[in-house]
Structure 1
Amino acid sequence: MCRWAAWQGAPIFASEILTAPDHSLIHQSRDASECKTAINADGFGLAWYDKRPTPGLYRDVHPAWSDPNLRSLAQQVQARLFMAHVRASTGTATSRNNCHPFVQGNWTFMHNGQVGGFDQLRKAADMLIPDDLYPNRKGATDSEALFLVACGAGLETCPKLALEHSVALFEDMARGVECAPHMRMAAALSDGQTLYAVRYASDDRAPSLYYQWNAEWQGWSVVSEPYDTVCGGWKEVPKGSFCRFTPTEVEITPFVPQVRVAEPKLAG
């Protein structure tokens, strides 16, 4: 299982979360404490927003702890919103195209979890991606496919409904091949203005997810697991939840996957 961290608020250096804390994200890449495996060595990625609407993106296939370029970049990049991910593959190859976060236009997405039996339903999943978005299918992960399906389902209009619809489709396909767990996810996504996060599973083992208001830095940390215990104030996101973080507020609502049927067009 992967580990990730996101920030939304006043601009801070990415190193404040990626490298500086005792249990920073880079430390979690080799010694995670709240997932099945402590090692997350199958690549990493960092996406950030500041002055421009589309994000910067840096990804590589090395273990995060061994890449000096990531540490140098984290010390120089100061951003109001950023998302970082260290990967533990669930079966797909270690390549840049399979590293999170994924970017489509001004949207960024990263995911921890799995779709049951994805090897058996990969073609069917790819068929759900709209033709105009399919050229952006660069890798082979379930996460990227889910993201592109959500983009085609109206992510820009209503992220929550688009994700509920897309997760329901993938969950139904996993049930069809009788491979459990059908869906487990702790995901983050952003359009560069608002940070969203989801915690959900089709069983009772949703991946861990926490958030914290940092009064010193004036913003929200959203993480797979806390990177420090000094500040305290970490809150666990309830299972089956969709979170919306603005620079100063958070809203948490139930996340209930369901396939939306298109409304019939009126004649005339």
Structure 2
Amino acid sequence: MCRWLAYSGSPIPMDALLYKPKHSLIDQSQHAEMGAETTNGDGFGIGWYPIDRVAKQTPGAFRGIGPAWSNANLRDLSEHIRSPLFFAHVRASSGTAVQESNCHPFRHGDWLWMHNGSIRDFARLKRDLLLAVDPELYPEIQGTTDSEAMFFLALTYGLRDDPVTAVERMAGFVEATAAAHGVQDPLQMTVATTEGETTWAFRYSSTGQSRTLFYSTGVDDLRQLHPEVDALRMLSDDARLVVSEPLGAMPDAFNEVPESSYSVIHRGQDQMSAFNPR
């Protein structure tokens, strides 16, 4: 499938997570250890919010169809862009075309969305799923992926007002549509979404065997455990990271997100709750 990470906290250069860790996201694009595929070379994307962001400002985005590991522009940008909240994604296509409009993260207004997983038999379900998208939102769909369809369904169900309920309704609708078509165990997802202030991360699958997802231990605790790691000094106490798989250097730095659950991360506070499709 794919690998992704979501960071929030003190502004840092994006390459601090994309390139520098032992098992960075760029390393995972070639050598993933916990994904359905080892290689995630069907495109990449980053989305970020500026340090001096004003309310409702559209986040920046850069996406490409080639493999992340060979893109010189991605390396250069990630060295120079500092951000307090950013998403990064490396893609392994589940069947849809390798094209820029299919690369994550997807963007609508001040919202970002990225996904690892799939909707089983999406081609069979696609028409019914997309017909449920709000007619005012439908023209903004640019690609052909199940991931973008999930995003616009969540927007239709009220993502901007109540993200958790919207994603639960989206997941429930996908499962109900699949059942009507005789498609079993249709949904596999780890999803992250944000409006630039709060990050929501979801782990769920219809089978109860979801793709991996991890969240970082508190930075203050890590400093005490690893005083030798200089990089921890650049992070604020409220820094948080959600990843498809750990970045390597400190095995005690990450905890697994429980099955069928979601996390809400806001200014160093995080809350974990059960996820129940509606």
Please list, as runs of the form range in 1=range in 2, the aligned pairs for 1:150-165 lying within 5 A after superposition: 150-165=154-169
SS of the residue corresponding to residue 253 of structure 2 reads: coil
C-alpha displacement of 1:140: 0.5
Provide the residue aligned with 1:233 in structure 2. 253
Number of equivalences:
258
TM-score by length of structure 1 reads 0.94
Percentage identity across aligned positions? 39
Provide the residue aligned with 2:72 in structure 1. 68
Contact 1:187 1:198 in 2 (8 A): yes
Output the CA distance in 1 between the equivalents of 2:79 and 2:70: 16
SS of the residue corresponding to residue 8 of structure 2 reads: strand
Letter in 2 for 1:214: V
Greater mean alpha carbon deviation, residues 212-221 or residues 125-134 = 212-221
Contact 2:26 2:69 in 1 (8 A): yes
Output the CA distance in 1 between the equivalents of 2:84 and 2:241: 11
Provide the residue aligned with 1:137 in structure 2. 141
Contact 1:9 1:246 in 2 (8 A): no
SS of the residue corresponding to residue 252 of structure 2 reads: coil
Letter in 1 for 2:246: P
Report the structure, 1 or 2, having the larger helix content.
Answer: 2
Indicate which of 211, 219, 243 corresponds to 1:214: 219
Output the CA distance in 2 between the equivalents of 1:199 and 1:230: 23
C-alpha displacement of 1:148: 0.7
Greater mean alpha carbon deviation, residues 144-153 or residues 228-237 = 228-237
C-alpha displacement of 1:69: 0.6
Provide the residue aligned with 2:224 in structure 1. none
Task: State yes or no: 1:253 paired with 2:258.
Answer: no
Letter in 2 for 1:170: V
TM-score by length of structure 2 reads 0.90
Could you say what the CA RMSD is over the residues aligned between the two structures, in angstroms? Answer: 1.1
Contact 1:5 1:221 in 2 (8 A): yes
Alignment gaps of 5+ in structure 1? 259-268
Output the CA distance in 2 between the equivalents of 1:172 and 1:29: 33
SS of the residue corresponding to residue 62 of structure 2 reads: strand
Contact 1:45 1:84 in 2 (8 A): yes
